[in-house]
Amino acid sequence: MYRRGILIVDDEENIRQTAVQALAPLGYDLISAANGREALDKLEENQIGLVLLDLRMTDLDGLEILRHMARFRPEVRVILMSAHGTVDSAVEALQLGAVDFIAKPFSAQDLREMVMKIIDHQAGEAAQASAYEKHLTLTKSSLENHRLEAAKEHTKQAIGLDPSRPEAFNLLGILHELTGNRTEAMKYYRVALALDPTYNPASQNLTRPTHDPDHLQAINLG
């Protein structure tokens, strides 16, 4: 069950009411804001997972709110609503993190279908992230118990779930290092850093001195 609220932001009361009536049968926590500043307050006060955001408002427009969310609430999904959006504003909105666009006026069915599609996608992402973390944990446990084949399998499973994250590549580097292939290990540490230059475990493993006989004890699993 989706447990985060849906924030509806529009300076037209009839649009807010239409959205609430369309989404109420789905059983989600619906929160409304009549302007941009109220929307920012609602974002601070509530657990919001999805925002329906008007592009044009009198105080703060939708793009200004998106810029704020890109900095402080990047995990929240945004559907942009507009009756007169331009191509340029739509492109900028997508670059700032909006995931879809709906033209006003919209039908209740169209809005429900769009919201459900995004929520289903969020649920899938959450399940994938949970599975990824599970494989990381099992990889680390296998490495610590010298079960290298099991570690290799769990690492591959993690990479298959999300090849954009650095953690599994760092662990794959460690796996190669434990089998004596430092050259291959360094390749995977570099892959991890290419994905995330701030990922310290891979950086430490890459620069760790190898002339010390005990250098493997300093391996950073992350």
pLDDT digits (tens, 9 = 90+) for 100-141: 888 888 999 999 999 998 888 877 777 777 888 889 999 998
Helix (H) or strand (E) holding 99: strand 98-103
Say yes or no to pLDDT of 173 above 60.
yes
Written as six digits, the tokens of 13 are: 């009361």
The CA-CA-CA angle for residues 110, 49, 83, to 5°, reads 40
- Of 31, 71, 86, 72, nearest in space to 53 by CA: 31
DSSP string covering 59-94: SS-HHHHHHHHHHH-TTSEEEEEESS--HHHHHHHH
| pLDDT tens digit sequence for 55-99 | 888 888 888 998 888 888 888 899 998 876 555 677 777 778 788
CATH fourth-level superfamily of 130-218: Tetratricopeptide repeat domain (1.25.40.10)
Residues in a beta bridge with 104: none
Q: How would CATH label the architecture of 5-106?
A: 3-Layer(aba) Sandwich (3.40)
| Gap between the Cα atoms of 15 and 11, Å rounded | 8
Cβ within 8 Å of residue 151, ≥6 positions away: 139, 142, 143, 171, 175
Weakest-pLDDT range from 11-15, 67-71, 194-198: 67-71
Tell me the domain boundaries of the chain.
5-106, 130-218
